[in-house]
């Protein structure tokens, strides 16, 4: 086998011409015959028993040539790109058989390769880092959550339901007098004021007493997920079975002893302060590292082939689909739930995919510049960690995860450590408050999420999962 020529024809695209020698091709044809002879019927011979030259005489001398090409092409291609010193990022395209006879073949093809990368800077990157403080209100919120968790539900007798109460109701919704799918529930516990039901629903339960039956008039929002209900006026028939309220425990030393390892309120609140501070410091560290990586990505100078971004989108969509399946959901049902198609989903990943590709290229460049090397022992340790994480035999992991992929991932990890360890943190600047038209401070609108709601309830958006390291992904798929 040999590389006849290699020529750069476009940015990140090379044209190759590769060939196979006569002896190697004849050996490949013999292998193709041994593998495929059972497919051919020859009079006077049992199927699969006809000699090679008889089948070639009956079906043509080239009968096994293309099977031989299919078998040898992957190996031939791998050897050619190694000899050419290029790194393909996708399967070859525009491949063409230039010549083919009993003495071998010549193939022309084009292949997209990794781009040449320049990095403006990767050490000493500056980024803002938030100074962590803990407010008393944050400690109180934690205390309130602990009290809520230990709260008891007490039935309310003879009083009307109010905000904060839990109403046990039956409900059924009607549009134009016709009940609609998903609009019925029985003995449903609804916390009034929680905002779990469509606007106006909970407000109209407030003021009613146990045993009452009444109607609620609401209108579905125009952007409601179910198109047949969006903007429609609806009547819900309600029966109020029970009203309960939360009775919080007394917040004192005895409560603290019951729920924690501490003996006093003061010690408990001090531990909460430390926990909150640690949590916020970890979040500040993550935000700082993210900002550093964003700058690193901005420092990449390269023309990224579109196919690299598309492959990264493929990986992220595949990972997302895997996680959906783990939750018992199908991709098509999920997309229907969100009211979007696969093209829109892929488009939502595009910006992140481009960023991920640039980050990987930056880390690979740092690996090259820093001459980072990974030992076989490092690879073995990492593979053992995969085996432990997925409760799989090490030998099985080794069949699923290529050692070279692990080595590349570990090298990139070390490169990232260099970037993070040399990064410089600066005080985070306070953003100026936005002013509304009347001079009052304006509140930024919440981001709208494409969540489709059930007939009465609103459902939180399920976000796509973040991408995992490529080596680990193969092990997950095998589980």
In a domain? residue 126:
no
Structure confidence at residue 155 (pLDDT): 95
Q: Are residues 331 and 209 in the same domain?
A: no
Q: At which of 95, 113, 131 does a domain end? A: 113
Q: Are residues 305 and 438 in the same domain?
A: yes
Q: Are residues 237 and 273 in the same domain?
A: no
Per the DSSP assignment, residues forming a β-bridge with 170 are: 239
Provide the residue range defining the domain that includes 174.
152-247
Query: Residue 174: what are its φ and ψ, rounded to 5°?
Result: -135, 135
Using CA atoms, how far residue 318 sits from 324, 337, 477, in Å, is 10, 18, 10
In a domain? residue 222:
yes
In a domain? residue 253:
no
DSSP summary character for residue 299? T
Least confident of 286-295, 362-371, 399-408, 430-439: 430-439
Q: Are residues 241 and 328 in the same domain?
A: no
Specify whether the CB–CB gap between 19 and 50 falls below 8 A: no
Q: How many structural domains compose the chain?
A: 3
CATH label of the domain that carries residue 97: 3.30.70.1050
In a domain? residue 24:
yes
Q: Are residues 75 and 180 in the same domain?
A: no
Q: At which of 89, 113, 137 does a domain end? A: 113
In a domain? residue 257:
no
- Do β-strands 424-427 and 233-247 pair in parallel, antiparallel, or remain unpaired? unpaired
d(CA 406, CA 370): 18
pLDDT digits (tens, 9 = 90+) for 308-350: 999 999 999 999 999 999 999 999 988 988 888 999 999 999 9
Is pTM, for the whole model, over 0.75?
no
CATH label of the domain that carries residue 335: 1.10.3120.10
In a domain? residue 143:
no
pLDDT digits (tens, 9 = 90+) for 239-253: 999 999 999 999 999
Q: At which of 195, 216, 247 does a domain end? A: 247
CATH label of the domain that carries residue 229: 3.10.50.40
């Amino acid at each position: 086998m040999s590389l006849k020529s290699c020529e750069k024809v476009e940015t990140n695209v090379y044209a190759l011409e590769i060939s196979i020698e006569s002896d190697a091709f004849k050996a490949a044809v013999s292998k193709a015959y041994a593998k495929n002879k059972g497919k051919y019927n020859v009079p006077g011979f049992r199927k699969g028993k006809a000699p090679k030259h008889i089948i070639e005489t009956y079906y043509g001398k080239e009968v096994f040539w293309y099977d031989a090409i299919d078998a040898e092409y992957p190996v031939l291609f791998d050897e050619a790109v190694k000899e050419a010193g290029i790194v393909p990022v996708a399967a070859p395209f525009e491949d063409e058989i230039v010549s083919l006879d009993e003495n071998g073949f010549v193939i022309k093809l084009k292949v997209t390769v990794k781009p040449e990368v320049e990095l403006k800077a990767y050490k000493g990157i500056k980024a803002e880092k938030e100074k962590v403080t803990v407010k008393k209100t944050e400690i109180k919120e934690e205390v309130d959550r602990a009290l809520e968790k230990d709260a008891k539900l007490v039935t309310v007798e003879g009083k009307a339901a109010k905000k904060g109460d839990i109403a046990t109701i039956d409900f059924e919704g009607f549009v134009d007098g016709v009940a609609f799918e998903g609009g019925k529930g029985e003995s449903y516990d609804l916390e009034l004021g929680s905002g779990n039901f469509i606007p106006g629903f909970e407000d109209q339960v407030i003021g009613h007493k146990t045993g009452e039956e009444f109607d609620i008039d609401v209108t579905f929002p125009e952007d409601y997920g179910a198109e047949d209900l969006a903007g429609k006026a609806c009547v819900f028939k309600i029966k109020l079975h029970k009203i309960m309220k939360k009775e919080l425990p007394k917040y004192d030393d005895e409560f603290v002893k019951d729920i924690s390892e501490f003996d006093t309120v003061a010690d408990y609140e001090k531990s909460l302060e430390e926990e909150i501070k640690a949590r916020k410091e970890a979040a500040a560290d993550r935000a700082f590292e993210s900002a550093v990586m964003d700058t690193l990505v901005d420092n990449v100078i390269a023309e990224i082939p579109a196919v690299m971004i598309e492959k990264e989108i493929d990986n992220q969509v595949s990972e997302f689909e895997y996680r959906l399946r783990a939750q018992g959901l199908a991709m098509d049902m999920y997309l229907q739930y969100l009211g979007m198609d696969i093209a829109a989903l892929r488009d939502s990943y595009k910006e992140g995919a481009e960023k991920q590709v640039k980050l990987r290229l930056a880390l690979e460049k740092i690996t090259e510049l820093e001459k980072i090397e990974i030992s076989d022992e490092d690879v073995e340790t990492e593979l053992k960690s995969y085996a432990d994480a997925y409760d799989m035999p090490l030998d099985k992991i080794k069949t699923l995860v290529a050692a070279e992929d692990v080595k590349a991932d570990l090298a990139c990890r070390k490169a990232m450590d260099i970037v993070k360890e040399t990064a410089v943190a600066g005080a985070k600047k306070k953003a100026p408050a936005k002013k509304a038209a009347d001079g009052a401070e304006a509140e930024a609108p919440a981001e709208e999420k494409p969540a489709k709601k059930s007939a009465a309830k609103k459902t939180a958006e399920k976000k796509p999962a973040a991408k995992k390291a490529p080596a680990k992904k193969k092990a997950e798929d095998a589980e």
